[in-house]
Structure 1
Amino acid sequence: MTDTAADARTKVTGGPLVPALMFIALVVAVVGSLGAPLITEVADAFDVSLAAAQWTLTAPLLVGAIATPVLGRLGTGPRRRQVILATLATVVVGSFLTVVPPSFGWLLAGRVAQGAGLGLTALMMGVARDHLPERRSASTIALLSVASTIGIGVGYPLAGLLTDVSGLRAAYGLGLLITAIALATAWWAVPQPPPGRSVAVDVPGAALLGAGLLALLLAVSQTTLWSENPVLAGALLAAAAVLLAVWVRRERRCATPLVDLTLLRHPAVAGANVTMLLGGVGMYLLLTLVTRYVQTPEAVGYGFGVNVFVAGLVLVPFSALGFAGGKLVPPVRKRLEAATVLAIGGAVVLAALVVFALARDRLWLAFAVMGLLGLGVGAFSAAMPGAILAATPPEETSSAMSFNQVVRSVGFSTGSALGGLVLSAHTSSGASFPTESGYTVAAWAGAASMAVTVVISLVLRRTAKARLP
C-alpha cells in the first residue's frame, strides 16, 4: 500500500483514527485490570471467599488469552470491522452485568464477557498498519503495544478511588461507561479492511489451542494449586503440553492455520516471542511484588499499610513513564534496531528489580521503582512490534501480534505465580504474611529472568536483518 492510498483511506474514516485506536486499546486494558484492586470488596459484598473473588481477575485473563488468537485470525479477513464491533458489544454487555449483579455468578459472567476485549489490541494494530502511512503506522503500533500494558496502571487507582468514595458498583460502572464510549468510537472511526482478503478459521485448531492455554494458565496462575494439590497441577501442565503439541502438529499441516507458524521460523520473530515470554515474567513479578508490599501492615515489620487507593497511586508513575518510554522509541528506532531497544528496555526493568531487592524501606522508593519499571516496560513494549512486524506480511499483522499477546499473557501469569510461590515458601505456618526476605528472593528471581531477556535481545540483533526463506 502506498502512503497516498493510506492517507486517502484515513481521511475517509473521519481523520482521528489514531486517537480512536489508542482509546479503544486503553479501554480494554483498563477494564481487564478492574478486578485486581476490587477482590477484597467483592468477597465482602457477595460473602464469598477471597479465592472465589480472585476469579473476577483470573477469569477475564483466561478468556482474553484464549480469545486473542481467534480474534487475531478473524482480524486478517474482510470482516475485521464487524469482529471489532461485535467484540466490543460483548464487552459492553459484560460491563452491564458487573454493575447490576443479583449474585456473584452474574458478576463473574460479566467479567468473563469483558475478557473477550483483551484480544482487540492486535486488531487495532492491524487497522493501523492497513490504513496509516508506514512511518505513522509504526509509531501508532508501538504506542498500542504500550497502551495494553499501561492501562493496568490507569485502572488500579481509578477503581480504588471510586470504590472508596461510592462503592463497588461505581468502580464497575466506570467500566460500563468507557466500554460504551469505546463501542461508539469504533463504530465511528474504524474502517473496513482493504478489499481482496479472505479468512477461514480453523475451528478444531482454535479448540485445541484454547484448551491447551486454559490448562497452562490454570497451572501457572493458581499458586495454591501447587501446595494443595500438586498432582492436579502437574496433570494440568502435562495436559497443556500434549494439547499444544497436537495443536502445533495440526497447524503445520492445516491449509488455513489459526496462527501462521512459518513466521515463527524466522529468527527475529522467534527471538522476539522468547524475550516477550521471559520479559513478561520479570515485569509482572515486580508489579505484583510492589503492590503487595506497600499494602502490608507496618506491624508485620515491613510494608506501609496503605489502602487500595494509595496502592493504586503507586502505579501512576508506572503508567506515566510507560507512556513516555513508548513515545521515545520511534525516534530512537531511527538509529537503533528493535532488538537493541528491547535490550535497553529489559535492562531498565532489570535495574528496577535490583533497586527493589536492595532498597525498599521508604514509600517514595516504591514510587521510584514503579516509575523505572514503567519506563522499561514502555520502551520494551513499544519496540516489540517492530521486531516482529519487520518479518511479517501486512495481512498477517493481527495474527502475528495476537500470538505475541498470548505469549505475553503466559509470561505475566508465570511472573505472578512465581512471585506468589516464592512468598508462600517464605510464609511460616499459621502466619498471614511472608518474611521480608521472601520479597528479596522473588526480586532476584525476576532479575535473573530479565538478565536472560537482555542477553537474548542482544543476540537477536545479529538476526534482526534476516529475511523469511
Structure 2
Amino acid sequence: MPTPVRAGRASARLVVLALASCGLVVSLMQTIVMPLLPEFPRLLNTTPAGAAWLVTANLIAGAVCAPVLGRLGDMFGKRRLLLVALAVMVAGSALGALSDAFVVVLIARALQGAAMGVVPLGISIMRDELPPERVGGGIALMSSTLGAGGAIGLPLTGVVAEHFSWHWLFGGAAVFGLIEMLLIWRVVPESPVRSGGRFDLVGAAGLSAALICLLLAITQGNGWGWASVPVLVLFAAAALLFLVWGVYELRLAPPGRAEATRQPLVDLRVSARRQVLLTNIASVLVGFAMFTSFMVSAQIFQAPDGTGYGFGMSLTVSGIALLPGGLMMVAFSPVTAYMSSRFGPRITFVIGAAIMGAANLARAVTAHELVIVIVATGVTSVGAALAYGAIPAMIMQAVPVTETAAANSLNTLARSLGTSTCSAVVAAVTTASVMYVGGVEFPTAWAYTVVFLIGAGAGLLASVIGLFVPRDGEVADLPLSETEDHRVRTAP
C-alpha cells in the first residue's frame, strides 16, 4: 500500500469529499438487493421468506457492527477502523459477485453490513481533523449522502437489474469499496484522539444479542405474525437483554477514569444526558419519517394504473423519478451547515423534522398526481437534509471528544431502527388492506394514506421532541479528565 499522506498535506476539502462519499457506500449496501427481491427466490433457488433474509441479515449485521466499530475507533484509531469496515464490506461484495449459492450470498450480505459503521467513524474524524469552520459543512454533506445514496442507488441498481446480471451489483460494490479505501488511505489522516483502555467484549456480546432479538422481531413480525409465539418471545428477550446489558454497562467505570480497566461499550451516563437521549429518540422518528416517503413513493411509481394511484413505471424509470429527492439532499447540505452555524443545530433539526412531517401529511390528504408525488418527495428530502445534517452536531455538543465515534455510532443505530421499523409498519399496513388488479394483489390507496399519516406523526413528534433538547449554548463540550487528557495528548 502507498504511504499515507500526513494531516498537514491533506487539504480539508479532499478530506471532506473522501469521507462524505462514504455515505454513498452505506446507502448502496442497503438498496443493492431491493430491485431484485422478487427475483431472488428463482435466482438463488430459495423461498420468498428466504430472500427477505438478504435484507434482514444486512440490517442485523450493520446494527451490531456500528457500536462495536465506533468504540474500537475511539480506542485504536478511527481511520484504521474505517478502513477495516470498508475491507469487510469489499470482501462480502466480492463473495456475492462470485457465487450463486443462497447461503454464500446471505453471508455476503451480512459482511456488507459492516459498512454501517463507516459514517459515524467518518463524522468523528471530521471533528478531530478539520478546521472548526469546516466541520459543520462536512458533517452536513456526509449526512446528506445517506439519503441521497438511497435515491441514487435505486435507479442505478434498477438499471443493472434490468439489463445485466445481478452479480454486477455485488461486483460494482466491491470496486467502489476498493476505490473508497484507496481514497481514505491517501487523503485522510489518522486522528490522534484515543480513549485507550480495554474493549468491553461482554458488553458487545450483550448488545449484539439484544439487537438481534429486537430486529428479528421487527423485520419478521409481518411474516410470522405479530402475535405469534416466536415474535413475542423475541420482543421479551430483547427487553430482558437490554435491561441486563444496561445494568452491566453502568457497573463499569466510565471512560477517562484512572481506575477503569475496561471501558463500557456505551457510556450510558453520557447517553442518558438529556441532549443525547432526546436526540437519539428523535432520530428514530426522523428515520421513520424519511423512509416513509422514499419507500412508499417507489411502490406507488411501480404500481399499475389500474390501482387508481399507480403509474406503471419500470424499476429504472421509478428510480429516476426518485432521483430529484436525492439530489435535493445533497444540494441543501450547505444550507444545513449555514443554518446550524447561524441558528444552532437544534433549531435546524426542529425545522427539518417539521418539514418532513408536513410533507407526509400533504401526501396523506392530496391526490396521487405525478407532479405532487415528485414535489412532495423533494420537500421531504429537504427536511431530511436539515434534520440529518444537524443530528451529529447535536450529539457532539454533548459528548467528550474521546466518545465521538461511539456516540455517533449509537445515533446511526437509532436512525437505522427508525428505517427498519418503518419497513415493518409499511408492510403490516399495506398487507392489511388490499385489492386485486389483474389477479395480482396490491395495497389500497387507503393503506398508503394511513402510512403517510403515521409518517407525518413521526416527523411532527420528532420536531416537538427537538424543542425539549437543551439549547446549544446550554451544553458545552465535556471536559477531559486528567487521565483522559493524558491519553489524548500522548496518542501516536
Q: Matched residues in 1 for 2:456 and 2:103: separation? A: 39
User: Could you tell me which of 364, 369, 372 is aligned with 2:379?
Assistant: 372
The alpha-carbon deviation at position 260 of structure 1 amounts to 1.4
- What percent of counterpart residues are identical? 33
The alpha-carbon deviation at position 24 of structure 1 amounts to 2.5
Q: Which residue of 2 aligns with 1:448?
A: 457
Which deviates more from structure 2 when the two are superposed, residues 295-304 or residues 59-68?
295-304
Q: Which residue of 2 aligns with 1:117?
A: 115
* 1:358 aligns to 2:365 (yes or no): yes
One-letter code aligned to 2:468: V
CA gap of 1:327–1:37, structure 2 versus 1, over 3 A, is: farther
User: Could you tell me which of 304, 313, 338 is aligned with 1:306?
Assistant: 313
Runs of 4+ with >6 A deviation: 428-431
Q: Matched residues in 1 for 2:470 and 2:268: separation? A: 22
Q: Which residue of 2 aligns with 1:4?
A: none
* TM score, norm. by length of structure 1: 0.93
Q: Which residue of 1 aligns with 2:488?
A: none
1:188-199 map, 5 Å: 188-194=186-192, 197-199=195-197
The alpha-carbon deviation at position 79 of structure 1 amounts to 3.6
Q: Matched residues in 1 for 2:386 and 2:79: separation? A: 29
The answer to whether the 8 Å contact 1:158/1:171 transfers is: no
One-letter code aligned to 1:433: F
Q: Matched residues in 2 for 1:98 and 1:305: separation? A: 31
Q: Matched residues in 1 for 2:386 and 2:246: separation? A: 31
The alpha-carbon deviation at position 200 of structure 1 amounts to 2.2
Q: Which residue of 2 aligns with 1:10?
A: 7
The alpha-carbon deviation at position 227 of structure 1 amounts to 2.6
1:252-267 map, 5 Å: 252-255=250-253, 256-267=263-274
The answer to whether the 8 Å contact 2:333/2:385 transfers is: yes
Q: Which residue of 1 aligns with 2:233?
A: 235
Q: Matched residues in 1 for 2:225 and 2:304: separation? A: 25
Q: Which residue of 1 aligns with 2:415?
A: 408
One-letter code aligned to 1:277: V
User: Could you tell me which of 289, 295, 304 is aligned with 1:297?
Assistant: 304
The alpha-carbon deviation at position 151 of structure 1 amounts to 1.4
1:334-374 deviation per Cα after TM superposition (whole angstroms, max 9, x unaligned): 32121211111011111221221122432232221221111
One-letter code aligned to 1:155: G
Q: Matched residues in 2 for 1:360 and 1:223: separation? A: 31
1:49-448 map, 5 Å: 49-194=47-192, 197-225=195-223, 227=225, 230-255=228-253, 256-427=263-434, 432-448=441-457
SS in 1 for 2:124: helix
One-letter code aligned to 2:427: G
The alpha-carbon deviation at position 274 of structure 1 amounts to 1.3
Which deviates more from structure 2 when the two are superposed, residues 11-20 or residues 337-346?
11-20
CA gap of 1:410–1:449, structure 2 versus 1, over 3 A, is: same
Which deviates more from structure 2 when the two are superposed, residues 443-452 or residues 81-90?
81-90
One-letter code aligned to 1:112: A
Q: Matched residues in 1 for 2:363 and 2:352: separation? A: 17
Q: Matched residues in 2 for 1:335 and 1:23: separation? A: 26
The answer to whether the 8 Å contact 1:146/1:323 transfers is: yes
Q: Matched residues in 2 for 1:384 and 1:134: separation? A: 17
One-letter code aligned to 2:134: R
The alpha-carbon deviation at position 148 of structure 1 amounts to 2.3
Q: Which residue of 1 aligns with 2:43?
A: 45
CA gap of 1:428–1:316, structure 2 versus 1, over 3 A, is: closer
The answer to whether the 8 Å contact 2:344/2:472 transfers is: no
State the aligned residue count: 462
The alpha-carbon deviation at position 431 of structure 1 amounts to 6.6
Q: Matched residues in 1 for 2:194 and 2:265: separation? A: 19
Q: Matched residues in 2 for 1:385 and 1:97: separation? A: 33
The alpha-carbon deviation at position 197 of structure 1 amounts to 4.3
Q: Which residue of 2 aligns with 1:3?
A: none
SS in 2 for 1:11: coil
Gaps of 5+ in 2: 254-262, 480-492
* 1:460 aligns to 2:469 (yes or no): yes
Q: Matched residues in 1 for 2:177 and 2:423: separation? A: 27
Q: Matched residues in 1 for 2:361 and 2:30: separation? A: 29
The answer to whether the 8 Å contact 2:128/2:193 transfers is: no
The alpha-carbon deviation at position 383 of structure 1 amounts to 0.6
Q: Calculate the aligned-residue CA RMSD, in Å.
A: 2.2
CA gap of 1:195–1:231, structure 2 versus 1, over 3 A, is: closer
Q: Matched residues in 2 for 1:21 and 1:343: separation? A: 26
SS in 2 for 1:303: coil
1:87-142 deviation per Cα after TM superposition (whole angstroms, max 9, x unaligned): 21111111111211131222111111111111111111111111111221232122
SS in 2 for 1:76: helix
SS in 1 for 2:443: coil
Which deviates more from structure 2 when the two are superposed, residues 400-409 or residues 286-295?
286-295
The answer to whether the 8 Å contact 1:358/1:440 transfers is: yes
SS in 2 for 1:432: strand
Q: Matched residues in 2 for 1:242 and 1:70: separation? A: 21
One-letter code aligned to 2:62: G
The answer to whether the 8 Å contact 1:70/1:201 transfers is: no
Q: Matched residues in 1 for 2:359 and 2:209: separation? A: 35
The alpha-carbon deviation at position 186 of structure 1 amounts to 2.1
Q: Which residue of 2 aligns with 1:30?
A: 28
Q: Matched residues in 2 for 1:124 and 1:46: separation? A: 35
SS in 2 for 1:278: helix
Which deviates more from structure 2 when the two are superposed, residues 159-168 or residues 68-77?
159-168
CA gap of 1:151–1:313, structure 2 versus 1, over 3 A, is: same
1:15-73 deviation per Cα after TM superposition (whole angstroms, max 9, x unaligned): 62111111233223223321222212323322323322222222111110110000000
The alpha-carbon deviation at position 457 of structure 1 amounts to 1.2
Which deviates more from structure 2 when the two are superposed, residues 302-311 or residues 189-198?
189-198
